[in-house]
Amino acid sequence: MGLGKTLAVRGLTLIAVLFCVLLLTVAVIGATGVSDRILNAMLNERLRGIRQVLSTQITDPDELNRAIEAIEDDLIHSYGLDQPWYVRMPSMLARIIILDLGNARTIQTFTGSRLVSDIILERLPNTILIMITVLIINFLVGLIIGVKSATRPGSLLDRFISIYSSISYAIPTWWLGLLMILVFSFYFRLFPFGGMFSAPPPTELIPRLLDLIWHAAMPIITLVIALSGSWIYITRSVVITTAQEDFVTVARAKGLSERLVMWRYIIRVAAPPILTNLMLGLAAYLGGAILTETVFSWPGMGLLYYHAIVSIDEALILALTYIFTLIYVISRFLLEVFYVILDPRVRYG
Amino acid sequence: MSLFLREALREFWRGSLSKLGVIFLSIVIIVSFYTTTTMPLDYGTRFWSNPVFWVNNPKAAPPEWVNTFVSPKLLEHKVLSTSLPASVDAVEGSILKRYSVSYKLGVEQFPQFFNLEVSNLTYHEAPPTLILSILKPDGYSIDLYTFIVERPFENESIPFIRYTLEPKRVLLSGEVQVARALSNFISARYGELLSPSQIIDIGYEQIIFGERSALKSFTPLKGTYTLTLTLASRNPNDNIGSCRFILGGQVYGLMGTDLLGRDLFSGLLFGFPVALLIGFATSVITTALGAGLGIMSGYIGGRIDDLIQRFSDIVNNFPQLPLLIFLTFIFGGKLWVIVLVLVAFGWPGLTIIVRSMVLSVKGAPFVESALAVGASRLRIMGRHIFPQVAPFILSQLIFYTPSAILSEAALSFLGLGDPTIPTWGQILEYGFRNGAVYLGYWWWILPPGLLIIYSAITFVFIAMGLEPVVNPRLRRWR
């Protein structure tokens, strides 16, 4: 398979994933009657607006009611509320894709908009910021420490890594966050309890940036500690397995320097499977981000999830599930591209 | 026992992590067994989520053993009960039965509150009167509270029994009558006139268990108090089944309490079998489904293989947590919903790996020979192929258990747990929502999290111990 074809196949799978998730959510909300509730809420919101406008033009209350009833019938038809849920599945699907889901129940944007799409777009960058930072730090930490412990299996560092990775696998990210707040915010007063900026936020660029870093430090450290363990361990296992291959023995027999053997013969070969594992771990990053944001009141989409659950906001949860799947699919695809660049078997195959 | 199994067990037992894992697991199992045999199965609905049950406990109190580390010592919670009268007197035609207990105040602290509970009171004629009084160490006595038992209903037959299902609860801090009694006491003892509202400002417990140091300030009076509940009635057969005097402390029990006064120790204990159930139910169903589909897909091949592979490839790439949140939110957080949702997204990873393993043994001579003697497909899959992949499946079963426990805890933490069953995740969620981390209630935050880690790491250790058994390549490196 050539490069383009490989990417196309992977891309299609990911699009299928996105589509299946959307289909699943639409079917679930349709069958349980949630979509009726969402559409009805949107309808009532529109009607209220129309009533306000009309009441300035039509003074006779009977006539006003008749006019509004006519409009309501039209709207019910246009929203598809007069049809069973499976008939309006395609339109509901389209609605989710463009985030046309009406207003959130209680949550607002900074500027006061209650539209689901506005709220999500406002929070999106904050989540991406945390996720990318953590991904980069973890990638480096995992590679450096994983390779180091693989070169000396059985050493003190190596044994420490096995224990650390099993603890880090078993530790709930969000609980680690609670622990960090308890220790560093409550007892030592070193870091803020949560949020993204101090109140009031600094206005100049440099202090503002420092304030942001100060607030972001704890969520990022929490995620790195919680997620790096298994990642280091996998890197170590892959490197150890590769180091037992015959061509590595041959390279050593040729008298090549250990450094050269390590980087050119072991790590270069181990890179694609390591990347594969990074891809498989991506879902854990998303999950970790949702929970960590909640713990640290980081105003991203994870915290939004929590608020949506607490305020029983179905439209918002639907939108968030879609957006998280979208982020996941896009970042998976980016990693696939990276994989193709790294693995020559795919490139020239 | 076959040679292979013995060899595998020896290899497993060689690792120190696997030994630790087995020890941890036996502790989890013993505690779960103890909990399920001693606690009722409807503990969650009957006690845990029933605030009335916890009304006599101090709120957000740290565990008792913190007294080993802090100075000055914090006051311990005390529940004193009695069911036999200490003395019986007859005065002017009425019988006075006195039920009393003594309470020793040993630290410089006031009790947080003072409650009284009376249960199974029996009377035969007129409704009796109950009088709560206290004798202080300095010899002064106060009649704090008086009440008359409810009259008989129409057509009720003698004897009249009261407070059988629910005890009569008197929360003294909520009774205005006590303020008047204390106002009288202060004017008699110190010659000061304080209005009931001033008494409320000072606090009942301060006056009852204190000594005046300035006009309106009291210091704790150490010593032994006698608390007495007097039953005044006409009939000598009238009696009280049992009465309890509750003196609220600042520390409580082994693990402290939460904001509702719930004993965290019992909640944490109940979490053991629940975690074990969630972990095992989810991982067993998931592995059975995943392995079954994997063996089918690998051995049968053809269109079924294509279908299963496409499907598992897609489901395997679902972002888990968002969908878990979505589905449990829509279907409601019931335990079985959570387990089913976890199964629904857990199986494909195993299916893909098992399929590739089956492909490699499919063409082996022993399979072909079985086929040659006419074994059915089902028999070949069950008797010849399954044993080849069984060790791997077992290790996956154990490896998946902690992730089920962790996922349930995460869902609970987001407020999607099963409200009828207390779990560690829910205890943490309630703590987080009520600001336990910001107030430094460490006893509420640390133990549930540590238990989640403990139960998860148990299975991680066992799975890591199994790894060299399943994957002999790693064996050399130890």
Q: Which of these three, A97, A127, A147, is where a domain ends? A: A97
Burial of B313 (0-12, 13-18, 19+ CB in 10 A): middle
Closest CB from A305, A318, A324 relative to B319: A324
- Do A135 and A19 reside in the same domain of the chain? no
Q: Is B58 helix (H, G, I), strand (E, B) or coil?
A: coil
Architecture of domain B3-51+263-477: Orthogonal Bundle (1.10)
- Do A124 and A272 reside in the same domain of the chain? yes
- Do A249 and A330 reside in the same domain of the chain? yes
Separation of CA B242 from chain center: 27
The residue range of the domain holding A52 is 3-97
Q: Is-contact A146 A237, C-beta < 8 A?
A: no
* B71 CB-near residues (< 8 Å, 6+ apart): none
The predicted structure's pLDDT at residue B165: 87
Q: Which of residues 420-449 of B touch A (CB under 8 A)?
A: 428, 432, 437-438, 440, 442, 445-446, 448-449
From chain B, pick out residues whose CB is under 8 angstroms from the CB of A306. Answer: 414-415
Question: Among candidates B241, B230, B228, B243, which has minimal Cα distance to B101?
Answer: B228
Q: Judge whether A315 lies within some domain.
A: yes
What distance in Å separates the CA atoms of residue B55 and residue B248, rounded to the nearest whole number? Answer: 10
Name the residue of chain B whose CA is nearest to A315's CA: B326
Q: How many domains does chain A have?
A: 2
From chain A, pick out residues whose CB is under 8 angstroms from the CB of B453. Answer: 167, 170-172, 175
Rounded to the nearest angstrom, the minimum Cα separation between A101 and chain B is 16
Inter-chain touch B449–A178, beta carbons under 8 Å: yes
**Across all residues in chain A, what is the average pLDDT?**
88
The predicted structure's pLDDT at residue B309: 92
Inter-chain touch A170–B406, beta carbons under 8 Å: yes
Rounded to the nearest angstrom, the minimum Cα separation between B56 and chain A is 28
The predicted structure's pLDDT at residue B473: 54
From chain B, pick out residues whose CB is under 8 angstroms from the CB of A16. Answer: 314
The predicted structure's pLDDT at residue A151: 83
The label of the residue with tokens 């033009």 reads: A57
Closest CB from B331, B414, B437 relative to A309: B414
A23 pLDDT band (50/70/90 cuts)?
very high
The predicted structure's pLDDT at residue B475: 47
From chain B, pick out residues whose CB is under 8 angstroms from the CB of A188. Answer: none
- Do A170 and A229 reside in the same domain of the chain? yes
Measured from the Cβ of residue B449, the count of other Cβ atoms closer than 10 Å reads: 23
Burial of B468 (0-12, 13-18, 19+ CB in 10 A): buried
Q: Which of these three, A46, A70, A97, is where a domain ends? A: A97
What distance in Å separates the CA atoms of residue A173 and residue A179, rounded to the nearest whole number? Answer: 10
**How many degrees, rounded to 5, is the angle at CA B26 between CA B22 and CA B28?**
115
Q: Is-contact A341 A272, C-beta < 8 A?
A: no
Q: Which of these three, A97, A132, A158, is where a domain ends? A: A97
What distance in Å separates the CA atoms of residue A13 and residue A346, rounded to the nearest whole number? Answer: 17
Inter-chain touch B410–A287, beta carbons under 8 Å: yes
In three-state form (DSSP H/G/I as H, E/B as E, the rest C), the secondary structure along A23-46 is: HHHHHHHHHCCHHHHHHHHHHHHH
* Position A194 pLDDT exceeds 80: yes
A1 pLDDT band (50/70/90 cuts)?
low
Question: Among candidates B427, B453, B415, which has minimal Cα distance to B338?
Answer: B415
Rounded to the nearest angstrom, the minimum Cα separation between B147 and chain A is 44
User: What number is the average pLDDT over the span A315-333?
Assistant: 91
Q: What is the ipTM of this complex?
A: 0.90
The predicted structure's pLDDT at residue A5: 83
* A212 CB-near residues (< 8 Å, 6+ apart): A196, A197
DSSP secondary-structure letter at A181? I
The predicted structure's pLDDT at residue B246: 94
What distance in Å separates the CA atoms of residue A95 and residue A80, rounded to the nearest whole number? Answer: 12
From chain B, pick out residues whose CB is under 8 angstroms from the CB of A310. Answer: 415
The residue extents of the domains of chain B are: 3-51+263-477, 78-247
From chain A, pick out residues whose CB is under 8 angstroms from the CB of B317. Answer: 13-14, 17, 332
Q: Is B155 helix (H, G, I), strand (E, B) or coil?
A: coil
**Residues lower than pLDDT 50 in chain B:** 1, 475-478
Q: Is B100 helix (H, G, I), strand (E, B) or coil?
A: strand
- Do A341 and A217 reside in the same domain of the chain? yes
Mutate to test the interface with A, among B28, B309, B316, B321 (most CBs of A within 10 A): B321
Rounded to the nearest angstrom, the minimum Cα separation between B445 and chain A is 8
- Do A38 and A156 reside in the same domain of the chain? no
Question: Among candidates A227, A258, A225, A221, which has minimal Cα distance to A243?
Answer: A258
What distance in Å separates the CA atoms of residue A130 and residue A124, rounded to the nearest whole number? Answer: 10
From chain B, pick out residues whose CB is under 8 angstroms from the CB of A178. Answer: 428, 432, 437, 445, 449
**Reduced to 3 DSSP states, what percent helix, strand and coil does chain A have, rounded to the nearest 5?**
80, 0, 20
Q: Note every long-range contact of A317-320, with CB atoms under 8 Å and residues 24 or more positions apart, other chains counting.
A: A317/B325, A317/B326, A317/B329, A318/A25, A318/A29, A318/A34, A318/A38, A318/A96, A318/A101, A318/B326, A319/A96, A319/A99, A319/A101, A319/A116, A319/A117, A319/A120, A320/A120, A320/B322
> What Å distances lie between residue B453 and B200, B326, B348, B422, B429, CA to CA?
46, 25, 25, 17, 16
Q: Is-contact B418 B332, C-beta < 8 A?
A: no
Q: Judge whether A344 lies within some domain.
A: yes
Name the residue of chain B whose CA is nearest to A175's CA: B449
A224 pLDDT band (50/70/90 cuts)?
very high
Closest CB from A13, A29, A241 relative to B330: A29
Q: Report how many helices (DSSP H) and strands (DSSP E) chain A contains, helices first.
A: 15, 0
Residue type, B51: P
Inter-chain touch B474–A162, beta carbons under 8 Å: no
The predicted structure's pLDDT at residue B476: 43
Question: Among candidates B271, B320, B280, B282, which has minimal Cα distance to B429?
Answer: B271
- Do A195 and A315 reside in the same domain of the chain? yes
Inter-chain touch B323–A24, beta carbons under 8 Å: yes
The predicted structure's pLDDT at residue B478: 35
Closest CB from A21, A182, A305 relative to B325: A305
Question: Among candidates A345, A169, A328, A161, which has minimal Cα distance to A235?
Answer: A161
Instruction: Please report the number of interchain residue pairs, chain A to chain B, with beta-carbon separation below 8 angstroms.
Output: 146
What distance in Å separates the CA atoms of residue B377 and residue B214, rounded to the nearest whole number? Answer: 93
A349 pLDDT band (50/70/90 cuts)?
low
What distance in Å separates the CA atoms of residue A292 and residue B104, rounded to the nearest whole number? Answer: 47
Q: Judge whether A102 lies within some domain.
A: no
Measured from the Cβ of residue B433, the count of other Cβ atoms closer than 10 Å reads: 13
User: What number is the average pLDDT over the span A172-194?
Assistant: 93
> What Å distances lie between residue A63 and A44, A48, A67, A75, A236, CA to CA?
19, 16, 6, 18, 77
CATH number of the domain at A320, please: 1.10.3720.10
Rounded to the nearest angstrom, the minimum Cα separation between A73 and chain B is 29
- Do A191 and A52 reside in the same domain of the chain? no
The predicted structure's pLDDT at residue B37: 94
From chain A, pick out residues whose CB is under 8 angstroms from the CB of B62. Answer: none
The predicted structure's pLDDT at residue A286: 86
Q: Which of residues 209-238 of B touch A (CB under 8 A)?
A: none
From chain A, pick out residues whose CB is under 8 angstroms from the CB of B326. Answer: 25, 28, 317-318, 321
Closest CB from B318, B415, B442 relative to A309: B415
- Do A144 and A279 reside in the same domain of the chain? yes
From chain B, pick out residues whose CB is under 8 angstroms from the CB of A166. Answer: 17, 457, 460-461, 464
Measured from the Cβ of residue B311, the count of other Cβ atoms closer than 10 Å reads: 15
Fold (topology level) of B78-247 = Jelly Rolls (2.60.120)
From chain A, pick out residues whose CB is under 8 angstroms from the CB of B456. Answer: 169-171
* B381 CB-near residues (< 8 Å, 6+ apart): B295, B296, B299
Q: Is B286 helix (H, G, I), strand (E, B) or coil?
A: helix
B342 touching A (Cβ < 8 Å): no
The label of the residue with tokens 């989540």 reads: A127
Measured from the Cβ of residue B17, the count of other Cβ atoms closer than 10 Å reads: 18
